[in-house]
Chains A and B, each alone.
Chain A
């Protein structure tokens, strides 16, 4: 585990966390017909101490955005400002930022201690102070015992800690992470998530974290910026992103989703709408654009769907609000169902299942859902 006291001492009163602003940040690659817009006029304000994750599929522009913040890519347009100072013409080595890389990027020829000390040496830190700060950084990442090892003598997790120590010792105003955990195994990844998050929250360093792993984004971020095709689809807290996604893309990318074609009846009040679904007329929360949209879909998360056994002897077959179980999979902590309904096949997840009550393949079930957990949104994103 990380040693928060040491980390705190290292950064004691020396770090002013930065306010990072992106304004119309754009990156184009190639010319003419080959031109690709990797990042398309992004605006983003990141407050001091905030942990913001750029999340999206590969090619969405998240890494390019991070590299423009770091200074490794020259933007085709727009601004990156740190505490109201434009950083565009500042080379990476002059920006008060630090970065943790996917490949750890340790200097292979230097010992752990020298890896951490490298930046301070470049800054010509007096040797007594240098030693003290490197010791604190190593201590804070629980690396003191490994100080004299070479990087190739460390495991992946240990190497990533060294990379973190190396970043922290520079007391950056902004800490950048480029998919730092994707080379670690699942168990270690989960632990490192918590450690990084704890450390960051405790020290309050403004952080920008790039990942394609939604679990990472959900578990660590103050705010998630979901990107697609070089644009920001939605920037909001994890619960808003999950419960009230701004688009079908976001809803689909984060977590698992059922999209039901529904008929819109009336808009009752602001932020709600009445729709006809599974044979009922239901009042559900709605995206602000949904009432005006021509074509809407209803988002139902698998865990908000409820299934109840139907007494088949009472006759009837597939009724309006009934479904038939196509298959069920028992995972121990939850059961997953695929259910055929009038709205097509939907996925339902039942947590902590009672083994006797598991529906079998071919069973008819009554399908219902928690209306407050549903979300009506326009099928296509509104332009502008």
Chain B
């Protein structure tokens, strides 16, 4: 007969049960991270094991090359950072706003063909990003559909994916602002270059990112909207709220948890732009679509500088973590903290 023999046995059994997942996580997640951490402080060239005798510890050199190196490496990294900052600044708010707007639209009871619109908006999200990039290259080519449409309005469209000019630069120069030279350089990039804005080529990628991801986030918002109590919205109406104030003061606050999710996922996704760049422009024109993720790939797989590649990956990781923490603390501030729901009415 079996007999339960205390907590000790239960604990052993517990560890035994979770051991498969621990082994899998360790093997495919934890150990690779440790290895990457080692590689980022080594001069490993991708040949043989990173733990073999020929691989040397070189301290924080990979990091310092990137951050304070004063060389081409630092300049490339700075350029990639600048490109990606603009990408994030534009894509995250726009895709969040667009997806929320779409969700509100397709959530309306009065809308006919709801199913069709929901599917149509979600479709780009399930299509391979490579296919979409190829499509984008066609649409935004010098003689592509986009420029054709612009020509109907007597507008001369740029040669999108070949145009390295920064959008902010174009705007500033149209107001007669002259390019500034000199000044302090941050990450090897001059102040004027930092204010270039996304290049025309990058802008096409930005539009693409908004187009492809809005559908996914629309779905998240839609799920949140459908959780909302219809009576609350009606109560707001009875209180005299029109559509706009109802959205702003009732709907939006109630979908805030989803808003947080969408922004976080957006921040993580946009700091990891790789496949579009790899398929599309490979960093060009004039490195204006270079991103840290793509740079990391280039350093490791093309230039065999695996240490540097890993270092970029770790910097990216740090950026994403910091961003998420900031975003979390900002959005948490105004929450009403539930203390303890009074379960029973105390005689009043």
Task: Mark A residues whose CB is within 8 Å of B.
Answer: 1, 70-72, 91-94, 97-99, 101-103, 105-111, 118-119, 122-123, 142, 150, 152-158, 163, 166-167, 170, 176, 188
Q: Does B240 make an interface contact (CB < 8 A)?
A: yes
Q: Assess the A107–B236 pair: CB atoms within 8 A.
A: yes
The residue of chain A having its C-beta at the shortest distance from the C-beta of B241 within the complex is: A122
In the bound complex, CA of A101 to CA of B234 (Å): 9
Q: Are the CB atoms of B250 and A107 closer together than 8 Å?
A: yes
- Looking at the complex, which one of A70, A93, A142 makes contact with B348 (CB distance below 8 Å)? A142
CA–CA, A98 and B234, complex, Å: 10
* Stretch in contact with the other chain, from B29-37, B92-100, B144-152, B339-347: B339-347
Interface string of B245-260 (1 = CB under 8 A from A): 1000110011010000
Question: Chain B residues with Cβ under 8 A from A170's Cβ?
Answer: 238-240
Distance in Å: Cβ of B164 to nearest Cβ of chain A = 46
Question: A-B pairs with the 4 shortest C-beta distances?
Answer: A119-B239, A105-B231, A105-B235, A109-B253
A sample of 25 cross-chain residue pairs with beta-carbon separation below 8 angstroms, ordered by A number, consists of A72-B237, A92-B234, A98-B239, A99-B234, A99-B235, A101-B231, A101-B235, A102-B231, A105-B232, A107-B235, A107-B253, A109-B254, A110-B253, A111-B336, A118-B236, A118-B249, A150-B336, A150-B337, A152-B341, A153-B341, A154-B342, A155-B341, A156-B345, A158-B345, A167-B238
Query: In the assembled complex, which residues on chain A have CB atoms less than 8 Å from the CB atom of B348?
Result: 1, 142, 158
Cα distance A167–B344 when bound, in Å?
A: 24
Assess whether B242 is interfacial by the CB under 8 Å rule: yes
Q: How far is the CB of B228 from chain A (nearest CB, A)?
A: 10
Distance in Å from the Cβ of A6 to the closest Cβ of chain B? 15
CA distance A170 to B348 in the complex (A): 24
Residues of B within 8 A of A (CB): 229, 231-232, 234-242, 245, 249-250, 253-254, 256, 336-346, 348
* Cα A183 to Cα B231 with chains together (Å): 14
Query: Which residues of the partner chain A approach B256 to less than 8 Å between Cβ atoms?
Result: 109
8 further A-B pairs in the complex, CB-CB below 8 A; given A103-B232, A155-B342? A70-B238, A93-B238, A97-B238, A105-B231, A108-B232, A110-B253, A122-B241, A153-B339
**A28–chain B nearest beta-carbon distance, Å:** 17
How many whole Å from A34's CB to the nearest CB in chain B?
17
* Complex Cα spacing A22 to B217, Å: 45
A153–B342 touching, CB < 8 Å: yes
Question: Which of B237, B245, B249 makes the CB contact (< 8 A) with A92?
Answer: B237
Nearest residue in A to B342 (C-beta to C-beta)?
A155
Residues of A within 8 A of B341 (CB): 152-155
Give Cα A156 to B344, complex, Å. Answer: 8
Once the chains are docked, how many angstroms separate the CA of A123 from the CA of B236?
Answer: 12
Give the distance to chain A from B71, nearest Cβ to Cβ, in Å: 52
Closest A residue to B232 by CB, please name it.
Answer: A105
Could you tell me if B240 and A122 are in contact, using CB atoms closer than 8 angstroms? yes
Docked Cα-Cα span, A88 to B44, in Å, equals 77
Rounded to whole angstroms, the CA-CA distance of A98 and B238 in the bound complex is 6
Which residues of chain A come closer than 8 Å to B253, judged between CB atoms? 107, 109-110
Name the one of B234, B245, B254, B338 contacting A122, with C-beta atoms under 8 angstroms: B245
**Shortest beta-carbon distance from A307 to chain B in Å:** 41
**Residues of chain B within 8 A of A94, CB atoms compared:** 240
A122 and B239 contact, CB distance less than 8 A: yes
Query: In whole angstroms, what is the CA distance A72 to B231 when docked?
Result: 11
* Complex-state Cα separation, A162 to B348, whole angstroms: 14
Complex Cα–Cα for A215 and B141 (A): 74
Known contacts A1-B348, A101-B234, A108-B254; decide if A150 and B240 are in contact (CB<8 Å).
no
CB neighbours of B234 from chain A (8 A) = 70, 72, 92, 99, 101, 105
Known: A105-B231, A109-B254, A152-B338. A157 touches B345 (CB 8 A): yes
